[in-house]
A = this chain, B = another copy of it.
Amino acid sequence: MIIAIDAAGGEYAPHEIVKGAIKAAQEYDVDIALVGSKAILHVLAGRYLNKLNLSIIEANQVIEPHEPPLKAVRSKPNSSIVVGINLVRDGKASAFVSAGNTGAVLCASLLSLGKIKGIERPALGSFLDITPSTPTLLIDAGANADCRPSYLVQFARLGTTYVKHLLDISSPRIRLLSNGEEETKGNRLIQESYSLLKKTDLNFMGSIEGQDISKTTADVIVTDGFTGNIVLKTIEGLGDTFIGLVRQVGHVFSAAYHLQGRTLLRDLGLGSWVRRVDYREYGGACLLGVNGNVIVAHGRSQAKAISNAIGLAKQTVEQDICQMIREENYEQTDYHR
């Protein structure tokens, strides 16, 4: 299995991306194709080329974080994103991982891989790992800012398929993210989606409010990409504030109680929780509904996060998620408008 990595995308590219790719090549049974400037990548990873299952694919253009996606993808055919996605299209890689411009990754995926038949809008599925038990999939985590009820029903179905195979949960519990649990709550989008979801064969269990996201009452939380993105980033920001506070007072505390050399977080048993809310270790989101395996990593991903994203890509390939989605026969379902 070859996994292609966008070595030019993300705030810490190329160094941290390459470090993460090397880490993954050592830890997982995968072949890695680093996509980016050959000259740079040879300097950074040259000495590993013969030792690890690592190769370099030339892509001498870079799509910057704030470039308009469609224009960037069209005008930069040799960018790491376009070249990487094309490797998946051409069967030369099983998956592509990028921490670069998310809009451009979506755009290149749509143009090059195309949507799975019957899918109206592909969506980003991101695991929220803020409770100590099974993670919950948030879908759409940011691909579609404006949604129709039928999209949300498809997101619920995509999420069901993904979680079923990736986490081996036979009948994932679906909930709609809303401003109240009752069917009458929500904005118009949520109210209409609720009544559509009730009619499906999915394990739809009603709505969930913000404070219950971190509880374990859902396996898949369905939302539009605007709300999903904001919720995901709010959690990230609060996690950051929390980590900062604990670290800061940790120094004072350690000194006061002569606990030098100990890590307060570890002592407190909070380490695992911190890891879960920390995007620096977070595995990335899977673009569900396109004809290929694409993982979008956080723009601020460092080596650990990239390596985790590669791990997620590997699982997604192994479970053959695209094929599982195809077998759902979306073109025969009745919630198109």
A residues with a Cβ closer than 8 A to B are: 66, 68, 130-131, 142, 145-146, 177-179, 182, 184-188, 190, 209-215, 224-227, 229-242, 245-246, 249-250, 252-253, 256-257, 259, 267-270, 273, 277
Contact = CB atoms under 8 A, between A and B. Distances in A.
A215 B234 contact: no
A214 B230 contact: no
A214 B234 CA distance: 8
14 contacts: A145-B188, A209-B230, A209-B233, A210-B234, A210-B235, A211-B237, A213-B234, A226-B227, A227-B227, A234-B234, A234-B235, A235-B238, A245-B270, A249-B269
A226 B270 contact: no
Given A179-B225, A190-B226, A249-B269, 20 more contacts: A68-B184, A130-B238, A145-B185, A177-B230, A178-B230, A187-B226, A210-B229, A210-B230, A210-B231, A210-B233, A210-B236, A211-B233, A226-B227, A227-B230, A231-B234, A238-B239, A242-B242, A253-B269, A256-B267, A257-B259
A273 B244 CA distance: 12
A237 B249 contact: no
A131 B235 contact: no
How many copies of this chain sit in the oligomeric assembly?
2
B130 A229 contact: no
Nearest to A186: B145
Contacts of A178: 226, 230
B246 A268 contact: yes
Contacts of A267: 253, 256
A297 B216 CA distance: 27
A103 to B, nearest CB: 9
B142 A179 contact: yes
A182 B213 CA distance: 28
B241 A131 contact: yes
Nearest to A181: B66
A266 to B, nearest CB: 11
A30 B177 CA distance: 40
